[in-house]
């Protein structure tokens, strides 16, 4: 059951929805795919514990437009010849051909190892949000949120709304950095309102996790708060150190990277003439930046170039916010030294930190230790290794995700 379209959009988060909304005005055939069962990405993740605002529901409604075909639960297995991808859903594999491709692949949470981080009850900050929105009950659970960036406050709010007892929100950045960031929020009034709505009295800066404690599951967390160690009894720890752009498909296609993100021009074009990119995969910056980038990409891919000029200053404004946040919440070097020699770095294959730290590259580590060869295929330990050791990311190979033999055939 092969398919074709004029514009193929990968991802139905803020950027992908904005791209679809802009592109459909040109009367072209558009297909939107996402590996999640419901649209919205992480920030607008829809589930049994979620009540979306009317403005968000209006954005999701674009997928019902007659010129748009929406394929949830669909993953990219491989790029074939230029202009075609091999896809797979729960029922079968198939090939889709396109004239233009817009990558809105989002970002992954950066999880860095520390003693006890593999205990049941320990998740990423964004992962806790996803679990709660998909129905996980955490009512009454004592919870600690830790790591870096504005996501911590959003995760804490989600946990509180789900009935959890949030004891601490620990930000590793210094008070000077956090207050300096807050002092410039007047330039983005909507962010001031968000910050007020998410504010909590248990927020602490210059603080980070040292160790998760417990036997069979999490029982407490040892933290460094302003230079002093203390143990906090808890049933749940959500710890994330920012986000990493998801560039796997882009690199597989042959796109260039700028740092850790997909390199694009002012019209969101990559170096490949038929491929565009927008949102967190081009640099982490929040939903507002993702939406305006997605709109620009949708307009450019559908040939509506006249409408783009009015959006450029809007994008620059939100890019300035993203740059300010990146600078304010940069990781303290001490965070990279939390792991002990016997701390697992690759959880899938039980590879300790010491076994990987002595290697010179990801490829060498993989050959010697089997790191990255488990269920996550290096999505967790690979990003951690790049952050900890400065290794270059490996080139993605076919298949990009585990796939059925029938699909590959």
Q: Tell me whether residue 152 is in a domain.
A: yes
Domain residues for 354? 339-389
* pTM attached to this predicted model: 0.95
* pLDDT value for 49: 65
Encoding tokens for residue 372? 């990255």
The answer to whether residues 130 and 232 belong to one domain is yes
Residue 376 within any structural domain of the chain: yes
Q: What is the pLDDT of residue 51?
A: 80
pLDDT at 187: 94
Q: What is the DSSP string of 267-282?
A: TSB-SSTTEEE-GGGG
Q: Are strands 243-245 and 107-109 parallel, antiparallel or unpaired?
A: antiparallel
* 299 shares a domain with 348: no
Alpha-carbon span 308 to 298, nearest angstrom? 10
Cα separation of 160 and 114, whole Å?
25
In a domain, 409, yes or no: no
Q: Are residues 131 and 178 located together in one domain of the fold? A: yes
Half-sphere exposure of 113 (CA within 13 A, CB side): 27
Residues 234 and 152 in one domain: yes
Looking at the structure, tell me whether residues 233 and 256 fall in a common domain.
no
**By C-alpha distance, which of 226, 120, 127 is closest to 176?**
226
If asked whether residues 154 and 264 sit together in one domain, one would say no
Q: Kindly list the averaged pLDDT for each block of 10 residues, start to end, along the chain of length 409.
A: 94 98 96 95 79 89 97 97 96 97 97 97 96 92 97 96 96 97 94 93 97 97 96 97 96 96 98 97 96 98 95 97 96 95 95 95 93 88 94 88 92
Same domain, 175 and 265: no
- State whether 92 and 156 are in the same domain: no
Residue of 115, 108, 111 lying closest to 352 (CA atoms): 115
Residue that terminates a domain, selected from 208, 223, 241: 241
Residues 101 and 248 in one domain: yes
Query: Per the structure, how many domains does the chain have?
Result: 3
């Amino acid at each position: 059951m092969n398919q074709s379209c004029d514009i193929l959009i990968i991802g139905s988060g803020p950027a992908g929805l904005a791209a679809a909304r802009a592109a459909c005005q040109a009367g072209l055939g558009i297909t939107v795919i996402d590996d999640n069962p419901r649209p919205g990405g992480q920030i607008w993740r829809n589930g049994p514990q979620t009540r979306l605002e009317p403005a968000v529901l209006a954005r999701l409604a674009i997928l019902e437009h007659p010129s748009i075909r929406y394929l949830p639960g669909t993953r990219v297995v491989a790029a074939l010849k230029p202009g075609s991808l091999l896809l797979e859903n729960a029922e079968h594999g198939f090939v889709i051909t396109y004239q233009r491709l817009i990558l809105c692949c989002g970002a992954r949470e950066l999880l860095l190892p520390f003693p006890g981080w593999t205990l049941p009850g320990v998740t990423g900050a964004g992962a806790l949000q996803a679990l709660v929105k998909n129905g996980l009950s955490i009512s009454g659970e004592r919870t600690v949120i830790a790591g870096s960036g504005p996501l911590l406050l959003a995760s804490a709010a989600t946990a509180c709304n789900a009935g959890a007892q949030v004891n601490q929100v620990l930000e590793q950045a210094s008070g000077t950095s956090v207050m300096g960031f807050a002092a410039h929020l007047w330039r983005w009034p909507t962010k001031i309102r968000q910050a007020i709505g998410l504010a909590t009295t248990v927020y602490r800066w210059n603080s980070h996790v040292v160790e998760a404690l417990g036997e069979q599951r999490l029982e407490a967390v040892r933290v460094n708060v302003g230079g002093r160690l203390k143990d906090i009894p808890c049933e749940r720890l959500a710890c994330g150190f920012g986000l990493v752009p998801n560039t796997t498909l882009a690199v597989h296609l042959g796109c260039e990277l700028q740092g850790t993100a997909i390199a694009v021009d002012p019209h969101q074009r990559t170096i490949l003439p038929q491929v565009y990119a927008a949102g967190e995969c081009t640099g982490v910056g929040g939903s507002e930046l993702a939406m305006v980038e997605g709109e620009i990409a949708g307009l450019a891919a559908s040939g509506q170039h006249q409408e783009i000029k009015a959006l450029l200053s809007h994008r620059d404004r939100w890019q300035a916010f993203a740059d300010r946040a990146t600078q304010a919440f940069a990781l303290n070097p001490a965070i990279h030294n939390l792991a002990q020699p016997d701390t697992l770095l690759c959880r899938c294959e039980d590879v300790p930190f010491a076994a990987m730290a002595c290697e010179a590259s990801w490829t060498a580590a993989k050959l010697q230790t089997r790191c990255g060869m488990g269920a996550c295929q290096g999505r967790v330990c690979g990003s951690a290794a790049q952050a900890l050791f400065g290794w270059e990311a490996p080139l993605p190979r076919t298949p990009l995700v585990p796939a059925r033999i029938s699909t590959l055939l």
